[in-house]
Amino acid sequence: MKRFFFFLNFIFVCTSAQDVYDPFVKCLSDAKIPKAEIEKIAYSPNSPSFPTVLQAYIRNRRFNVSTTRKPSIIVTPTTEPQISAAVVCAKTLSIQIKIRSGGHDYEGISYVSAAASPFLILDMFAFRSIAVDVADESAWVGAGAYLGELYYRISEKSKLHAFPAGICPTVGVGGHVSGAGYGNLLRKHGLTVDHVVDARIAVADGRILDRKSMGEDLFWAIRGGGGASFGVIISFKIKLVPVPAAVTVFRLEKYETDNRTDSVFQYQQIVDKIDDRLFIRVLLQPVTRNKNKSVRATFIGLFLGGADELLPITNSQFPKLGLEKSDCKEMTWIESVLFWGNFDNKTSPSVLLNRKPDKINFLKRKSDYVKTPISVSDLETIFKKMVEIGKVGLVFNSYGGRMAEIPASETPFPHRAGNLFKVQYSVSWEDEGEAADKDYIEQIRALYSFMEPYVSSNPREAYLNYRDLDIGTTDNGKDSYSDGKVYGVKYFKGNFDRLVKVKTAVDPDNFFRNEQSIPVLPSAGGRKSGK
């Protein structure tokens, strides 16, 4: 029955979408894109391949149901001139453009639109080339490449180099990097954007620019301000970072009966001060154990060195962790990527070339930053609340080290010194239907509300790559500056105003827009594309 309704929805879309598709294809043809190329890259809802292409990179099932608004066109460019033509034609015809590189954006804004007007998905999955230059310690990476593919290609050329990006191998480079993606190397090496040295981007008039031709203001903005607010990210040139021949990983689970709370409390005391070669992530998850509901704390660590170097550090500075030699596993960096990706320890690194995730759930995420330690009694209160609420988990991601050394204005990402750790609120579910969505989303909102006394304030900060439409949206081009400031200050703090100035200079008509894009200044006189 659900598939039947999905089919009906496509019929409805087709009745109006063809009126958009035909002029768009003509515009591409007028732009000298050969007909044979157009037939391979432009999909209307009438195309038999349309549903497959649309759903191939949807990573949140909340946005893959019969009632989800569908695009009028999907374009899957394979050349830069095709990107330029698609941008110019979409702007000429007042078609909103959504840019997808991997589909892991939590609110689906790269392939769903809240606006009533027609929209187009520009899917960059074909731009996945990776050219690693070990001698220069750099790589050019296409926006549609996956992190797993990047890690694998680096490891092919060198066992002593890496890139400080995320732990999920099926995340696309374009959105991850331009949104200031991070991973378990951030305490030693900082963020992805701290190692971007060049880029190629298509702007609203169709020009394709590199760092020199775009200028330093735009180059600054796309390193953490979200590339989709300014243009179409085509590729990044990144600098690789050194890693030792052997790294150490560990995973320890603790319950209330074996110093769980004391361990989490002590973690907060040392997390930003401990050796910057050590990154520890803490997962707090409601579980049922011995028929009793509780919260389990899992400590997952990466140390850039051997276990014999690590143990004296944890024993002296984090004794409550109780780390022992038997808990530690030494391996190469690429093997540690598999460990963090929850692969079996006998899995070949070539699995990182697989572009299909094992499982896709319904999900909702939120974020916070913690600047002062939460007391033991307050931690117990939080754990009790988590059990009461139900299924929502918390993830603490360590700060300090290199993150505290880089000025907040160096890139648009401002959450540097002064933070102990970043919090991700996480809930996923498999139950279908609006009732289930409502239940789980209410759960995560309830825990987020409960946590307010323990996290940053004025503003209550948030992380762009943990996109959360609960904290505000714009009206897609209609007097959006005041609305944009609501979420913009949470994501970017004092960098928001500079981002708005850059946006106004490079895209005064606010063509590149989404529900949480950088707005233009009210005096710009643009927003023609928002009609």
**For residues 182 and 202, what is the distance between their CA atoms, to the nearest angstrom?**
25
pLDDT tens per residue, range 447-483: 999 999 999 999 999 999 999 999 999 876 565 899 9
How many angstroms separate the CA atoms of 221 and 227, rounded? 8
Q: How far apart are CA 38 and CA 28, in angstroms?
A: 7
Using CB atoms within 10 Å of the CB of residue 391, give its burial: 0 to 12 exposed, 13 to 18 middle, 19+ buried.
Answer: middle
Tell whether the model's pLDDT for residue 179 goes beyond 80: yes
Separation between Cα atoms, residue 466 and residue 448, nearest integer Å: 14
Question: Which two structure tokens, joined as six digits, stand for 409?
Answer: 């204005």
CA dihedral defined by 256, 262, 268, 269, rounded to 10 degrees?
A: -170
Which of 66, 63, 42, 30 lies closest to 122, judged by CA?
42
Query: CB neighbours (10 Å) of residue 208?
Result: 18
> Residue 204 in contact with residue 506, Cβ under 8 Å?
yes
CB 515 within 8 A of CB 112: no
Q: pLDDT value at position 16? A: 67
Topology classification of domain 130-242: 3.30.465
Is the backbone of residue 298 left (phi > 0), alpha (psi -120 to 50) or beta? Answer: beta
Tokens 């989709």 correspond to 228
Name the nearest CA neighbour of 303 among 251, 340, 249, 347: 249
| pLDDT for residue 478 | 63
**Which pLDDT value is given to residue 475?**
73
Q: How many CA atoms within 13 Å lie on the side-chain side of 174?
A: 33
Structure tokens at 230: 């300014």
pLDDT in the model for residue 524 = 65
Which residues does 377 contact at the CB level (< 8 Å), separation at least 6?
A: none
Q: Which residue has the tokens 């301000």?
A: 225
Please spell the DSSP secondary structure of 144-193, one letter per residue: T-BHHHHHHHHHHH-SSEE----S-TT-BHHHHHHTT---TTHHHH--GG
Tens digit of pLDDT for each residue in 392-404? 999 999 999 999 9
- Domain ranges across the chain: 2-123, 130-242, 247-454
Q: Residue 14: pLDDT band by 50, 70, 90 thresholds? A: very low
Cβ–Cβ under 8 Å, residues 87 and 208: no
pLDDT digits (tens, 9 = 90+) for 88-147: 999 999 999 999 999 999 999 999 998 888 999 999 999 999 999 999 999 999 999 999
Question: What is the Cα–Cα distance from 133 to 157, expressed in whole angstroms?
Answer: 8
Residue 525 has pLDDT above 60, yes or no: no
Look at residue 351 and tell me whether its pLDDT is greater than 80. yes
Print burial letters for 503-517: b (CB count within 10 Å at least 16), e (below 16): bbbbbbbbbbbbbbb
In this predicted model, what pLDDT tens digit does every residue of 16-34 receive, in sequence order?
677 899 999 999 999 999 9
- Contact between 174 and 223 (Cβ < 8 Å): no
Collapse the DSSP code of 388 into the 3-class scheme (helix H, G, I; strand E, B; otherwise coil) and give the result: helix
Nearest of 336, 330, 337, 296 to residue 311 by alpha carbon: 330
pLDDT band per the 50, 70, 90 thresholds, residue 436: very high
Torsions phi, psi for 120 (to 5 deg) = -125, 140
How large a percentage of the chain has pLDDT more than 70?
95
Q: List residues with catalytic annotation.
A: 466
Token couple for 218: 């735009």
State the architecture of 247-454 in CATH terms. Answer: 3-Layer(aba) Sandwich (3.40)
What's the sign of the alpha-carbon dihedral 24, 25, 27, 28? positive
pLDDT of residue 10: 42
Tell me, which fold does domain 2-123 have in CATH? Answer: 3.30.43
* Confidence class for position 13, pLDDT limits 50, 70, 90: very low
Q: Who contacts 220 (Cβ-Cβ below 8 Å, separation ≥6)?
A: 411, 412, 498, 502
Task: State yes or no: pLDDT of 255 exceeds 50.
Answer: yes
User: According to the model, what pLDDT value does residue 352 have?
Assistant: 98
